[in-house]
A and B are shown apart, each in its own frame.
Chain A
Amino acid sequence: MQEFSVVGKRLPRIDAVDKVMGKARYTTDITLPGMLFGKILRSPHAHARILRIDTTRAGKLSGVRAVITAKDTLGIKYVHAGPPFQDKDVLAPDKVRYVGDEVAAVAADSEEIAEHALTLIDVAYEVLPALFDPEEAMRPCAPRIHDAENNITMRGLRNYGDVDKAFDESDHVFEDRFVTQAVAHCCMEPHGSVASFDPKGNLTVWTPTQSPYFVQKELAVVLGMTPSKVRVMEVPVGGGFGARSKICEDEAICALLAKKTGRSVKITLTRKEEFSTTRTRHPMIIRLRTGVARDGTLTARHVKIVTDNGAYNHMGPPVMGYGALASASHYRVPAVRLETYLVYTNKQYGGPFRGYGGPQVIFAIESQLDMIADRLGIDKLEIRLKNCHRPGEVTACGWRISSTGFEECLRKAAQRIGWEEKKKHPVRGRGIGIAGMMHVSGAKVYTDGDFSSAQVNLFEDGSAAVFSGTTDMGQGSTTVLAMIAAEELGLDLDDIHMVTMDTDLTPIDLGSWASRIAFVGGNTIRKACQDVKRQIFEVAAKKLECNPDDLVLKDRKISVVGSPDRSVPVGEAILESPNRVGKMLTGKGHYDPPSELINRQTGVANISAAYSFAAQAVEVEVDEETGKTRVVRVVAAHDVGRAINPDIVEGQIEGAILQGIGYALTEGMIYDQDGRAENTNFLDYKILYSEDSPKIETHIIETDDPEGPYGAKGVGEPGLIPTAPAIANAIDDAVGVRIKELPILQEKLYRGIKQATRERSG
């Protein structure tokens, strides 16, 4: 195996010291001279027409500097998933569609005054009947939330292969219904932004985003500005998980307030707003029909997904689209029908969330696979090994598998959880379960590509500054990119200065989503470094009278391979290069993976240039008297291609697993009969505390992907995807109760256990 000096090492993150010292300056920490504070007035109704808004009293309150409503906007809707799905105004002009919809906003000298002013804004509403259940909303007689017929904003029906014939020829056909819930991202840093206009009308925005490029674009659109006059600044991001992969709406309101007052404005959402008005994971109702041969070979699949979109489209169309494709991913299914409905309801709306539709659908796939194995009397590991994709295969929907360690992941997870042994000696109330997944490393969903770009400035002293539009939302991607640059340039990590996510300074990257940064961003940084190396090697080759291909760059010297004393200092080569810029050389990199946009006729595409795989095995303990589940142990085996930094890779997997356990057992938004979010704090909405955390054993499987930088693939999202079904499977193994609706709350399982007991005795 190739030897690396930086890649593969457990190096500390480059931002860790700032963070442990409390010196990292997050958006909420920013104070600008004369800064005002913004607050947002939100709809108290799930569905209502706005008859009139009177801001007179609020405007007269001492300390209030501006009150804005839809009249202060250009009436342009957010881009979000693009036409024809644009449906969200910055401030509601005539109708509100969920409890929390933005209606007006205030900028004042203090947060207290702004909050007081909100109570003085008089809005007259005509309350309309509201819809909270997507299946009800689809009925022809249901009132319309937007203009969409039957409130269906997007529907899809695609066949891959001869599905009817495949079902006819299947030995068995099983059909089951699974339901998943809305969950909150719960980033520790609340959403918020600071906006400021200079006298020339240039806008500067600080906001914890996963994609400065998208925020810049969205702000330019809704404010009617050219993007070059909108600067989105580099800030530490206090968690993302998808919540911030698009504009979060407070940015535009903040900018409008800044424009109207001529002063800088800060908005920070409260935790209650965070829970009730930011995006959730889309709830889905999944009907899964699967054809299978007697020996357990999957033969056909029809997945019907009804997605609860909530009040607006946001990224619902691609989230549902991706989720559907995931139903034919890690296991071979020759014939597949994807039937999808994205339905408006008068609730908080969904958005991207770690896994992008995958966790919902894979919960169904992996749960049902266990049920099928039970019905056929096949071992649950065996049925997975029988059907799992092997290297070089192509999924029914066209995903080409360039590398996969899925089989190894399954075997490893099973072996480490003690599969054979525990299946032989089952203990009542204790169970093990396994589940797998496949996920993209970047995805081609935008017509202009899935690209990233970067610039490397190599200085006379041999050190380097790397400019990349990528965002580190906390996952450690900037450190990973710096390590790639250090490896390429033969430097130590400390010699690399990273400049990221500043739209004035950094070349465009689409953002931190689709587990794309290590893969797409990493390849880009490599190309930029190689570009600058090519330039210095040209100079050095002449001086050393050798072929540029025979040169290496290490420790600030260019030398001939095998003859370290035949060398030129980097500084000398830079100064003698015809391309020098002052006393430095720049290298540029642009990378758009060889992936494909979806073919609108066939629905087939290799949407990513590499795919990650994982299997997780869990052991649970269920108290049959109370229905309480304790996750005892999780073994996670992840094919990440190559771990550029194993600490960071493990950190991604471990953190995601805890989110996955929450998704499985404790988390879920609850709305009352009027659509009001009820559990808007950490007491009522239960994410996992340290005492809830099980033993986690992580195994990194390296498969050296041919397209990945040093063989690396994405790892940001995969950790969460198999966790919930593995837990559901383990619970069934422990107590013989199959729960098909998430979350598997204690009371739900208790009722399930009681019912099973009655059925057994009756």
Chain B
Amino acid sequence: MKKIIFTLNHEPVSAEVAPHIILADLLRDRFQLTGTKLGCGYGECGACTVILDGMAVNSCLILAIQVDGRDVTTVEGLAARDGTLHPVQKAFVDQGAVQCGFCTPGMVMMAKSLLDETPNPTEEEVKKGIGGNLCRCTGYKKIIKAIQSVQEE
């Protein structure tokens, strides 16, 4: 077991973790942040996407011990404390970009990271940006539209 200290959703936290534990399990089991979903467990679906030091990563491919001293944001850390939705979240709601919702947290986190890096992305840039996040329900059209709509506000 190793003690790690890191920033989780803007708060300092610590945890004792076994070396083989993945970040997704740490978030879900230890911190009950179940917004981060596990769809495959090997980095192909993107449902477990979180933001690590400003970069979107698959939390199933990161070991918990790797986040020691770093900054992790999950979907739970996106909205304001008073519950006001982040513009990306609001866009997903308004544009009908949510169906079953299982890919949504990962998709929202990936979209946030994309928009931080590339404000006002083109359709092709959005498609590429969320290229590692699978959705079986929506056909991506309304997700792409939602992400692009953020620039208009």
Question: Residues of A with Cβ closer than 8 Å to B?
Answer: 10, 12-13, 15-26, 28-29, 31, 185-190, 236-241, 270-271, 473-476, 647-648, 650-651, 654-659, 681-683, 687, 689-691, 693, 696
Chain B contacts with A in 36-91, Cβ cutoff 8 A: 36-42, 44-45, 47, 74-76, 78-79, 85, 89
On whether A690 and B74 interact (CB within 8 A), knowing A270-B41, A474-B137, the answer reads no
Q: Tell me if B13 counts as interface (CB < 8 A to partner A).
A: no
Separation of A273 and B131 alpha carbons in the complex (Å): 25
State A648–B138 Cα separation when bound (angstroms): 10
Compute how far the CA of A237 lies from the CA of B39 in the bound complex, rounded to whole angstroms: 13
CB of B141 within 8 A of chain A?
Answer: yes
Of listed A241, A473, A651, residue having the most chain B CB within 10 A: A651
What are 15 A-B contacts defined by CB distance under 8 Å? Answer: A13-B98, A20-B75, A20-B89, A22-B34, A22-B36, A26-B102, A189-B102, A473-B100, A474-B101, A650-B142, A681-B40, A682-B40, A682-B134, A689-B132, A690-B133
Tell me the complex Cα distance, A338–B4, Å: 66
Q: A10-B96, A20-B85, A681-B42 are in contact. Are A241 and B136 (CB under 8 A)?
A: yes
Nearest B residue to A239, CB-CB: B100
Q: Is the CB of B98 within 8 A of A16?
A: yes
Does B143 sit within 8 A of A, measured CB to CB?
yes
CA distance A719 to B35 in the complex (A): 30
Contacts of B39 in A (CB 8 A): 188-190, 271
Question: Shortest CB–CB separation between residue A171 and chain B, in angstroms?
Answer: 42
Q: Give the Cβ gap from A391 to chain B, nearest Cβ, in Å.
A: 30
Instruction: Return chain A residues, CB-CB under 8 Å to B78.
Output: 21
User: Assuming A13-B96, A17-B85, is B136 touching A659 (CB within 8 A)?
Assistant: yes
Known: A19-B101, A188-B103, A690-B127. 16 other contacts (CB 8 A): A17-B89, A20-B75, A21-B78, A24-B101, A26-B34, A188-B39, A238-B101, A647-B95, A682-B44, A682-B134, A690-B126, A690-B133, A690-B144, A691-B127, A693-B127, A693-B140
Give the distance to chain B from A354, nearest Cβ to Cβ, in Å. 11
**Residue of A whose beta carbon sits closest to that of B39:** A188
Closest to A111 in B: B25
Roughly how many angstroms separate A28 CA and B104 CA in the complex, as a whole number? Answer: 15
CB-nearest residue of chain B to A660: B139
Please give me the residue from chain A that is nearest to B128 by CB atom: A691
- A655: chain B residues at CB < 8 Å are 99, 135-139
Q: Quick check: A650 and B96 within 8 Å, CB to CB?
A: yes
Contacts A22-B74, A239-B102, A475-B99 given: A651-B144 contact, CB under 8 Å?
Answer: no
Chain A CB within 8 A of B28 CB: yes
Which of A15, A21, A651, A689 makes the CB contact (< 8 A) with B76? A21
Nearest A residue to B45 via CB reads: A682
Quick one: which of B105, B132, B134 contacts A22, CB cutoff 8 A?
B105
Does B150 reach chain A (CB closer than 8 Å)?
A: no
Q: Is the pair B96, A647 in contact by a Cβ cutoff of 8 Å? A: yes
Cα distance A23–B137 in the bound complex, in angstroms: 19
Q: Contact between A20 and B98 (Cβ–Cβ < 8 Å)?
A: yes
Q: How far is the CA of A651 from the CA of B42 in the complex (A)?
A: 28
Number of A-B contacts defined by CB within 8 Å: 171
CB within 8 Å of A: which B94-120 residues: 94-96, 98-105, 108
Q: Do most interface residues of chain B lie in helix, strand or loop, or is the interface mixed?
A: loop
Which chain B residues lie closer than 8 Å to A28 at the CB level?
34, 37-38
B124 to A: closest C-beta gap in Å: 9
Answer whether residue B23 sits at the interface, using C-beta atoms and an 8 A cutoff. no
Which of B37, B100, B139 is in CB contact (< 8 Å) with A657?
B139
CB of A12 within 8 A of CB of B96, answer yes
Instruction: Specify the chain B residue showing the minimal Cβ separation from A275.
Output: B40
Which residue in chain A gives the minimum CB-CB distance to B94? A12
Contacts of A19 in B (CB 8 A): 98, 101, 104-105
CB of A651 within 8 A of CB of B131, answer no
B40 contacts A476, CB within 8 Å? no
| Cβ contacts under 8 Å, B42 to chain A | 271, 681
B96, A20: Cβ atoms closer than 8 Å: no
Chain B residues touching A, range? 35 or more
Query: Is B103's CB under 8 angstroms from A690's CB?
Result: no
Q: Distance (Å) between the CB of B37 and the closest chain A CB?
A: 7
Name the B residues within 8 Å of A476 (CB-CB).
99
Q: Which residues of B contact A682 (CB under 8 A)?
A: 40, 44-45, 134
Instruction: Return the chain B residue nearest A657 by Cβ.
Output: B139
**In the complex, what residue of chain B is closest to A11 when comparing beta carbons?**
B96
Q: Which residues of B contact A17 (CB under 8 A)?
A: 85, 89, 93
A29, B34: Cβ atoms closer than 8 Å: yes
B100's partner among A29, A237, A656, A691 (CB-CB below 8 A) is A237
Q: Which 7 A-B pairs have the closest CB atoms?
A: A22-B35, A474-B100, A19-B101, A238-B102, A654-B139, A647-B96, A22-B75
Docked pose: A271 CA to B38 CA in angstroms:
10
Q: In the complex, which residues of chain A have a beta carbon less than 8 angstroms from the beta carbon of B131?
A: 689-691
Other-chain contact of A651, B75, B85, B99, B108 (Cβ < 8 Å): B99
Assess whether B134 is in contact with A188, with CB atoms less than 8 Å apart.
Answer: yes
Asked if A651 contacts B137 (CB within 8 A), the reply is yes
In the bound complex, what is the Cα–Cα distance between A98 and B85 (angstroms)? 48
**Residue numbers in A under 8 Å from B85 (CB-CB):** 17, 20-21
Which B residues are in CB contact (< 8 Å) with A696? 139, 141
CB distance from A695 to the nearest CB of B (A): 9
Q: Give the distance in Å from the alpha carbon of A624 to the alpha carbon of B14 in the complex.
A: 58
Please state if A651 and B138 are interface contacts (CB–CB under 8 Å).
yes
CB distance from A686 to the nearest CB of B (A): 11
Which A residues lie within 8 Å of B132 (CB)? 689
Chain A residue contacts of B74, Cβ below 8 A: 22
State whether B101 touches A236 (Cβ < 8 A): yes
Chain B residue with the shortest CB-CB distance to A25: B34
The reply to whether A20 and B136 contact each other, CB–CB distance below 8 Å, is no
Q: Which A-chain residue is minimally distant from B40 (CB atoms)?
A: A271
Assembled-state Cα–Cα distance A25/B137 (Å): 18
Check B17 for interface membership: any CB of A closer than 8 A. Answer: no
Question: Does B26 count as interface, using CB distance less than 8 angstroms?
Answer: no
User: In whole angstroms, how far apart are the Cα atoms of A185 and B102 in the complex?
Assistant: 14
Q: Point out the residues of chain B lying under 8 angstroms from A18, CB to CB.
A: 101
Quote the shortest CB–CB distance from B72 to chain A (angstroms): 14
> Are B45 and A654 in contact, with the CB atoms below 8 A?
no
Q: Are A693 and B136 in contact (CB under 8 A)?
A: no
CA distance A120 to B139 in the complex (A): 43
Neighbouring B residues of A654 by C-beta, 8 Å: 138-142
Which residues of A have CB within 8 Å of B38? 28
Residues of A within 8 A of B101 (CB): 15-16, 18-20, 24, 236, 238, 474
Chain A residues within an 8 Å CB radius of B99:
239, 474-476, 651, 655
**Cβ–Cβ < 8 Å partners of B29 in chain A:** 31
Cα distance, A659 to B140, chains bound together (Å)? 11
- B130 contacts the other chain (Cβ, under 8 Å)? yes
Q: How far is the CA of A689 from the CA of B46 in the complex (A)?
A: 11
CA distance A15 to B99 in the complex (A): 9
Contacts of B79 in A (CB 8 A): 21
A237: B residues at CB distance < 8 A: 100
Task: Give Cα distance in the complex from A651 to B142, angstroms.
Answer: 7
A186 adjacent to B34 (CB under 8 Å): no
